[in-house]
Amino acid sequence: MARMKDHDTLQRFLFDGTDIRGEITSLTSSYRNILNLNNYPTPIALLFGEFLVAASLIGASLKQAGIVTVQATGNGPVTAIMAECTQHQGIRGIVRGNFENIDIDTLSGSPDIAELLGSATLAITIEPQKGERYQGIVEMVSSKLSDCLEHYFQQSAQLHTKIKLAVSPKSASGILIQQMPLTQSAEQADLHWQHLSTLMDTLKNSEQLQLSHNDQLYRLFHEDNVRTFESQHVSFFCSCSLERTERALVSLGSDELLETCKEQGLVIITCQFCDQEYRFDENSINAIFPPSDDLLH
């Protein structure tokens, strides 16, 4: 079996003669870079990988600059898990919960939403730089993220969607096909969809993690007219900056910040996504706040 050659790439494809499009993505160093910032137990890291892949696949649909967020909240050991993807396939994410209370020996070892999140909801948010923010929320109806995502698209957009996700501690991969608005008869569209969905079901997790994108697509659809597009690089990104951190500190007020600085010597803010530290001493805190109006004559 060929080794996977598509490291940190996303590729779009279409089925000529149908109203069905698709994306396939593979994460390696981008996935590991994010995991290296945290010490998640393996089952949580694997579920996190699925969310990152899902964000990459859904982010491919962005037509303009913006961010797609795939997030779930629940009442289990994991209380929140989130992954973001930009139009240019920059990904980041985070997991929150009471991990010290997790008994690893009782978990299945594979990504299981019921075990980790308990009763949970799934939210997908699209935030374009220009235009209105959109968010759809559904109950998570399965222990598999792929099933929950398919349910989301069926409920929120009434679009037939098929997703397969595969993760390991070192890599994560996913493939999505989706019915677009119809230009052909509903009967013909349904036949095409059933045919391609059935083929998708035959793809094994090991094949997703080991085969190149072209090999996966040939393995599944070599008798169909698949048209591929130029691949897009996927990388870890973080949008934190000194300027954004300073704007966040303004809401706390100078008195509270200066008191903290007096007690601790510095105010230290650590980005939850990339672990970057921003340090503020008394002079830098004073520089954030403009002179008070009562000093002006």
pLDDT for the residue 105: 64
Rounded (10°) angle between helices 42-59 and 145-156: 30
Amino acid at residue number 121? T
d(C-alpha 126, C-alpha 133), whole Å: 6
Domains 9-236 and 242-295 share a fold: no
Q: For residue 102, which phi and psi values (nearest 5 degrees)?
A: -85, 130
Architecture of domain 242-295: Alpha-Beta Complex (3.90)
- The tokens 């921003």 sit on which residue? 278
d(C-alpha 98, C-alpha 110), whole Å: 19
Cβ(10)–Cβ(234) below 8 Å: yes
d(C-alpha 230, C-alpha 226), whole Å: 13
Report residue 297 as tokens: 């004559």
The helices-and-strands tally (H runs, E runs) of the chain is: 10, 14
User: Which residues are registered as beta bridge partners of 126?
Assistant: 68, 134
pLDDT for the residue 286: 87
Q: What is the pTM of this model?
A: 0.86
Domain ranges of the chain: 9-236, 242-295
Instruction: Name the pairing type of β-strands 235-236 and 267-270.
Output: unpaired
Instruction: Name the pairing type of β-strands 90-97 and 235-236.
Output: parallel
In terms of Cα–Cα distance, which of 133, 124, 121, 137 is closest to 85? 124
d(C-alpha 144, C-alpha 142), whole Å: 5
Q: In angstroms, how far apart are the furthest CA atoms of the chain?
A: 80
pLDDT for the residue 297: 39
Q: For residue 36, which phi and psi values (nearest 5 degrees)?
A: -65, -20
pLDDT for the residue 2: 45
Architecture of domain 9-236: 3-Layer(bab) Sandwich (3.55)
pLDDT by residue, tens only, the chain of 297 residues = 444 567 999 999 999 999 999 999 999 999 999 999 888 888 899 999 999 999 999 999 888 888 999 999 999 889 999 999 999 999 999 999 988 767 666 666 678 898 899 999 999 999 988 888 899 999 999 999 999 999 999 998 788 999 999 999 999 999 999 998 877 788 888 999 999 999 999 999 999 999 999 999 999 999 999 999 999 999 998 887 888 888 888 888 888 888 888 888 888 888 888 888 888 888 888 888 876 544 443
